[in-house]
Structure 1
Amino acid sequence: MSIIKGGLLDRRGFLKTTAATAMAATLPLGGAAYAAPKRGGHLRVGKGHGQTTDTLNPGTWENGFTIGMAFAIHGRLTEVAPDGSLQPELAESWEATADAKTWTFKIREGVTFHSGKPLTPEDVVASLNFHRGEDSTSAAGPLVAPIENMKVDGGNVVVELSGGNADFPFILSDYHLTIHPAKDDTIDWESGDGCGSYILKEKNFGVSITMERNPNHWRDTVGFFDSIEMLALVDQNARTTALVSGDVDVVDRVDLKTVGLLERNANLAIHSVAGTQHYTFAMSTNQAPFDDNNVRQALKYAINREEMVEKILFGYGSVGNDIPVGQGQLYYNTELEQKTYDPDKAKFYLKEAGLDSLEVSLSAADAAFAGAVDAGVLFQNSAKAAGIDLKVVREPNDGYWSDVWMKKPFSAVYWSGRPVQDQMFATAYSCGADWNDSFWCHDRFEALMVEARAELDPAKRQEMYFEMQDIVSNQGGVIIPMFANYVFATSNKLKTPEAMGSNWDMDGERWAERWSFA
Structure 2
Amino acid sequence: MKMTNLKLTASAWALMATTALAGNDAITLGMVLEPPNLDPTGGAAAAIDEVVYANIFEGLTRFGPDGAVLPALASDWSISEDGLIYTFTLRDGVTFHDGTTMDAEDVVFSLDRARAEDSTNAQKALFAGIESVTAVSPTSVAVKLSAPNGNFPFNMAWGDAVIVAPESVETAATAPVGTGPFTFVEWAKGDHVTMARNDAYWGDAPALAKATFKFISDPNAAFAAMMAGDIDAFPNFPAPETLAQFEADPRFNVIVGSTEGETILSTNNAAEHLDDIRVRKAIAHAIDRQAIIDGAMFGYGTPIGTHFAPHNPDYMDLTGNSAYDPELSRQILKDAGKEGITLRLMLPPPAYARRGGEIIAAQLRDVGINTEISNLEWAQWIEQVFKGKDFDLTIVSHTEPADINIYARPDYYFQYDRGEFQELNDILSVTSDPAQRAILLAEMQQIIAEDYVNGYLFQLAKTGVANAKINGLWENAPTQANDLTGVSWSE
* Residue among 374, 384, 409 paired with 1:431: 409
Give the superposition deviation at 1:402: 3.5
Q: How does 1:153-302 map to 2 (within 5 A)?
A: 153-154=136-137, 155-183=139-167, 189=172, 191-220=175-204, 222-251=205-234, 252-302=236-286
Give the superposition deviation at 1:241: 1.4
Q: Is the contact between residue 88 and residue 142 of structure 2 (CA under 8 Å) also seen in structure 1?
A: yes
Q: Is the contact between residue 321 and residue 450 of structure 2 (CA under 8 Å) also seen in structure 1?
A: no
The DSSP-based 3-state class of the residue aligned with 2:367 is coil
What is the alpha-carbon distance in structure 1 between the residues aligned to residue 164 and residue 170 of structure 2? Answer: 6
> Given the two structures, how large is their TM-score scaled by the length of structure 1?
0.83
What is the alpha-carbon distance in structure 2 between the residues aligned to residue 218 and residue 54 of structure 1? Answer: 26
The DSSP-based 3-state class of the residue aligned with 1:125 is helix
Q: Which residue of 2 aligns with 1:377?
A: 358
Q: Is the contact between residue 74 and residue 196 of structure 1 (CA under 8 Å) also seen in structure 2?
A: yes
What is the alpha-carbon distance in structure 1 between the residues aligned to residue 298 and residue 162 of structure 2? Answer: 36
Output the amino acid matched with 1:467.
E
> Given the two structures, how large is their TM-score scaled by the length of structure 2?
0.88
What is the alpha-carbon distance in structure 2 between the residues aligned to residue 383 and residue 61 of structure 1? Answer: 29
What is the alpha-carbon distance in structure 1 between the residues aligned to residue 210 and residue 186 of structure 2? Answer: 12
Q: Which residue of 1 aligns with 2:487?
A: 515
Q: Is the contact between residue 448 and residue 468 of structure 1 (CA under 8 Å) also seen in structure 2?
A: yes
- Give the direction of change, closer, same or farther, for the CA distance of 1:474–1:87 in structure 2 (3 Å limit): same
Residues 1:140 and 2:118 aligned together: no
The DSSP-based 3-state class of the residue aligned with 1:58 is coil
What is the alpha-carbon distance in structure 2 between the residues aligned to residue 308 and residue 336 of structure 1? Answer: 14
The DSSP-based 3-state class of the residue aligned with 1:481 is strand
* Residue among 437, 443, 446 paired with 1:461: 437
Q: Which sections of structure 1, spanning at least 5 residues, go unmatched?
A: 1-37
Give the superposition deviation at 1:396: 4.0
Stretch of structure 1 that moved more, 173-182 or 387-396: 387-396
Residues 1:47 and 2:31 aligned together: yes
Q: Which residue of 2 aligns with 1:82?
A: 65
- Give the direction of change, closer, same or farther, for the CA distance of 1:78–1:92 in structure 2 (3 Å limit): same
* Residue among 483, 495, 504 paired with 2:479: 504
Q: Is the contact between residue 208 and residue 232 of structure 1 (CA under 8 Å) also seen in structure 2?
A: yes
The DSSP-based 3-state class of the residue aligned with 1:122 is helix
* Residue among 412, 437, 457 paired with 1:481: 457
The DSSP-based 3-state class of the residue aligned with 1:482 is strand
Q: Is the contact between residue 54 and residue 61 of structure 1 (CA under 8 Å) also seen in structure 2?
A: no
Q: Which residue of 1 aligns with 2:316?
A: 333
What are the superposed Cα offsets for residues 91-115 of structure 1, whole Å, 9 maximum, x if unpaired? 1111223443221111111211112
Q: How does 1:79-158 map to 2 (within 5 A)?
A: 79-154=62-137, 155-158=139-142
Give the superposition deviation at 1:487: 0.5
Give the superposition deviation at 1:286: 1.9
What is the alpha-carbon distance in structure 2 between the residues aligned to residue 140 and residue 129 of structure 1? Answer: 14
Q: Is the contact between residue 54 and residue 206 of structure 1 (CA under 8 Å) also seen in structure 2?
A: no
Give the superposition deviation at 1:311: 2.2
Stretch of structure 1 that moved more, 470-479 or 195-204: 470-479
The DSSP-based 3-state class of the residue aligned with 1:182 is coil
Output the amino acid matched with 1:456.
S
Q: Which residue of 1 aligns with 2:467?
A: 491
Q: Is the contact between residue 281 and residue 479 of structure 1 (CA under 8 Å) also seen in structure 2?
A: yes
Give the superposition deviation at 1:324: 2.1
Q: Which residue of 1 aligns with 2:4?
A: none
Q: Is the contact between residue 233 and residue 239 of structure 1 (CA under 8 Å) also seen in structure 2?
A: yes
Q: Percent identity?
A: 23
What is the alpha-carbon distance in structure 2 between the residues aligned to residue 298 and residue 254 of structure 1? Answer: 31
What are the superposed Cα offsets for residues 358-416 of structure 1, whole Å, 9 maximum, x if unpaired? 32231224x2x323222122212222342222343333466443445444331111221
Q: How does 1:363-442 map to 2 (within 5 A)?
A: 363-365=346-348, 367=349, 369-396=350-377, 399-405=380-386, 406-418=389-401, 421=402, 424-426=403-405, 428-432=406-410, 436-442=412-418
- Give the direction of change, closer, same or farther, for the CA distance of 1:46–1:101 in structure 2 (3 Å limit): same
Give the superposition deviation at 1:50: 0.8
Give the superposition deviation at 1:337: 4.3
Q: Is the contact between residue 198 and residue 212 of structure 1 (CA under 8 Å) also seen in structure 2?
A: yes
What is the alpha-carbon distance in structure 1 between the residues aligned to residue 407 and residue 445 of structure 2? Answer: 11
Give the superposition deviation at 1:500: 3.6
Stretch of structure 1 that moved more, 227-236 or 400-409: 400-409
Stretch of structure 1 that moved more, 251-260 or 463-472: 251-260
Give the superposition deviation at 1:141: 1.0
Paired residues in the alignment total 464
Output the amino acid matched with 1:280.
I
What is the alpha-carbon distance in structure 2 between the residues aligned to residue 397 and residue 156 of structure 1? Answer: 40
Output the amino acid matched with 1:440.
Y
Give the superposition deviation at 1:432: 4.3
What are the superposed Cα offsets for residues 277-329 of structure 1, whole Å, 9 maximum, x if unpaired? 221221111211211122111111110012112222222221111x2211221
Output the amino acid matched with 1:292.
D
Stretch of structure 1 that moved more, 445-454 or 347-356: 347-356
Q: Is the contact between residue 75 and residue 196 of structure 1 (CA under 8 Å) also seen in structure 2?
A: yes
What are the superposed Cα offsets for residues 3-35 of structure 1, whole Å, 9 maximum, x if unpaired? xxxxxxxxxxxxxxxxxxxxxxxxxxxxxxxxx
What are the superposed Cα offsets for residues 138-180 of structure 1, whole Å, 9 maximum, x if unpaired? 1021111111111111222111112221111011111121111
Q: Is the contact between residue 50 and residue 63 of structure 1 (CA under 8 Å) also seen in structure 2?
A: no
What are the superposed Cα offsets for residues 445-468 of structure 1, whole Å, 9 maximum, x if unpaired? 111101011123333322221111
The DSSP-based 3-state class of the residue aligned with 1:195 is coil
RMSD across aligned C-alpha pairs, in angstroms? Answer: 2.4
